[in-house]
Structure 1
Amino acid sequence: MTALPEWMRPPRAEGWFAEDLDRLPEAPRHTELIDGALVFMTAPQRSWHGRLVTALTTGLMAQAPEGVEVERELTIRLDARNRPEPDLLVTSAPYEPDRTWYAPDEVLLVVEVVSPESAHRDRTVKLRKYAEAGIPHYWCVEEENASPVAHVYELDRPTGTYVAAGIFREALRRPVPFTIDLNLGGLVPRGRQARPGGRRG
């Protein structure tokens, strides 16, 4: 059995805390903290996922008003034991080149693009945690017949939970957190179906 790398050992009996992520240069890229446990992206990322995140980022950047920034793959410090890394977020905070995380009250919208490895966290765990932290808007984007489908949620502040604001195919038009008009169907080329083993033809 391979010995556990030293950097993977929690620094204290209570486990990991949010600030510990900035002290783990050896950790794999896209390491996040959920309920005090380190979560790693272990499966290779699919081209569809990467292209969609890039297209959503550029689309939102093009429509964001002055004073609103779009960030990709930065963490949100929800509390002392939770620091997830969404695929992208929209923030009202000014750009800071050395920033590594945002506070929930700086975040207007979180977008997660679901992959097989992240499906449970994106659909249930993060859905609950982002709402409890007071983040006003959450999109969980799924793949359906090689096209993106956006499940859009808005925070109901009296209950502190998300309510479904719609399921969007082909076009996503929303007045909040700013005026958004995205052609979902055109964000990612449909391409050809994958053969077993990941090859296409």
Structure 2
Amino acid sequence: MVLSTIKWSIEDYHQIIQTGLLDDRAVELLAGEIVEMPREDPPHAYFSSEAGEYLTHLLGDRALVSQAKPITLPNQSEPEPDLAIVQPLGREYLSHHPYPENIFWVIEYANTSLEKDSTIKYHIYAEAGIPEYWLVNLQTAELIVYRQPRGQDYGSKMTLKDGEISPLAFPDLTIPIQAIISA
């Protein structure tokens, strides 16, 4: 017997959320599937929060650093990246979460979620055209930077442990790698 799963649209997902059915569950929509998010362990919570604060101060009013909030992507996905650096559109976000064209780059911190973040989310972000995806591997203390989305993949990958990086959206800024991977 072959089992079939139901793929959910973003609209379906929003309706389910409005019913309150998912109120007690940490979930996100990934490629039409409602996926439970693992609980953040203390290092994950600490490093993502510290990096979020650092980037908020660094970027000032040039961008909004959204911490663990949904972004809406055209591939039936509404993930909640640890950090999404987005255009500061103010009250416009009352009517929608950031779309790909509003997103400068996203950052995921991965320990227990490493497999999901390096495969499923990697493909979802690339397919949606997110120009830059930073994956912090907490197990190895590395920053993996993906750039140049092409279909479901990225054309460029850099693995960094130290030094500095300039995000594509803000080439005039220099961010120490340690500010991202060890706060």
TM-score under structure 2 length normalisation: 0.79
Partners of 1:30 and 1:40 within 8 A in 2: yes
Root-mean-square deviation (Å): 2.6
Structure 2 contact 30–124 (Cα < 8 Å) conserved:
no
In the alignment, structure 1 segments of 5+ residues that lack a partner are: 1-12, 190-201
Match for residue 16 of structure 1 among 2, 8, 27: 8
Residue matched to 2:174: 180
Which of 21, 35, 40 is the aligned partner of 1:39?
A: 35
For 1:188 and 1:49, the matched residues in 2 are separated by 10
Distance 2:156 2:43 in 1: 25
Q: Which residue does the alignment assign to 1:124?
A: 119
1:187 shift after superposition: 6.0
Query: With structure 1 as the length reference, what TM-score do the two structures score?
Result: 0.73
Contact 1:59–1:182 (Cα < 8 Å) also in 2: no
Structure 2: gaps (5+ residues): none
Query: Greater helix share, 1 or 2?
Result: 2
Q: Which of 114, 132, 156 is equivalent to 1:164? A: 156
- Aligned pairs (5 A) from 1:1-201: 15-23=7-15, 24=17, 25-27=20-22, 28=24, 30-42=26-38, 44-64=39-59, 66-79=61-74, 81-96=76-91, 98=94, 101-116=97-112, 118-144=113-139, 148-156=141-149, 159-160=150-151, 161-178=153-170, 179-184=173-178, 188=182
- The 8 Å contact of residues 69 and 95 in structure 1, kept in 2 or not, is answered as no
User: 1:175 deviation in Å?
Assistant: 4.7
- Change in CA separation of 1:124 and 1:183 when aligned onto 2, cut-off 3 Å: closer
Q: Which whole-Å CA distance do the structure 2 matches of 1:171 and 1:29 have between them?
A: 38
Q: Which structure ranks higher in relative contact order (CA pairs < 8 Å, sequence separation ≥ 6)?
A: 2
What's the secondary structure of 2:136's corresponding residue?
strand
Count of matched residue positions in the alignment of Structure 1 and Structure 2: 171
Instruction: Name the larger-Rg structure.
Output: 1
**Shift >4 Å, 4+ stretches:** 185-189
